[in-house]
Structure 1
Amino acid sequence: MVILISLFIIGWLAASIIGTQAYFLGEQTKPIHERNWDSSSFDLLAKSFTGKDTDYLERVPAYTVDAYNAMNK
């Protein structure tokens, strides 16, 4: 029973680590909203999980005309 529980825990940890890395690697390449462009907390988390810096040549601004920008002009 102990072996089964430890296999379950190890599997869950592996899946969560792989999922977290996949999420941050995906987010580092997606278009980003202008208000989130310079998010140091995201950059810090992404680097700690993936080991890579965010490449701002790959990321492009998205949603340049939206309700958020319209309200703040």
Structure 2
Amino acid sequence: MTALLISLFVVGWVAVALIGTQAYFRGEQTKPIHERNWRSESFDQLAQSVTGQPTNFGDRVPAYSGDAFTSNLL
């Protein structure tokens, strides 16, 4: 009986981890991105392998264009 409960707990934990990972990467594939990370090949490959969907660059827009990283005044 305890083995059944432990295995049910483990299966549930794995399912939640997989769903959470997909939700994270799908969210990251659509939200605004910093200019320095715009064409991150490693993220795109990892996100596509996890979600099975390529990154849609029509949804991703550059963000934070006026920060200290891109400022020429500093």
Q: Which TM-score band (shorter chain)?
A: over 0.9
What is the match of residue 13 of structure 1? 14
- Report 1:22-61 matches (<5 A): 22-61=23-62
Alpha-carbon offset, residue 68 of structure 1 = 1.1
Q: Secondary structure at the residue paired with 1:68?
A: coil
Please give the alpha-carbon distance, in whole angstroms, between the structure 2 residues aligned to 1:59 and 1:40: 15
Q: Which runs of no fewer than 5 residues in structure 1 stay unpaired?
A: none
Amino acid at match of 1:66: D
Equivalenced residue count is: 73
The percent of aligned pairs where both chains have the same amino acid is 61
Please give the alpha-carbon distance, in whole angstroms, between the structure 1 residues aligned to 2:71 and 2:41: 25
Q: Secondary structure at the residue paired with 2:69?
A: helix
Cα-Cα RMSD = 1.6
TM-score, structure 2 as length reference: 0.92
Alpha-carbon offset, residue 70 of structure 1 = 1.8
Amino acid at match of 1:58: D
Alpha-carbon offset, residue 27 of structure 1 = 0.6
Runs (4+) off by over 3 Å: none
Alpha-carbon offset, residue 69 of structure 1 = 1.1
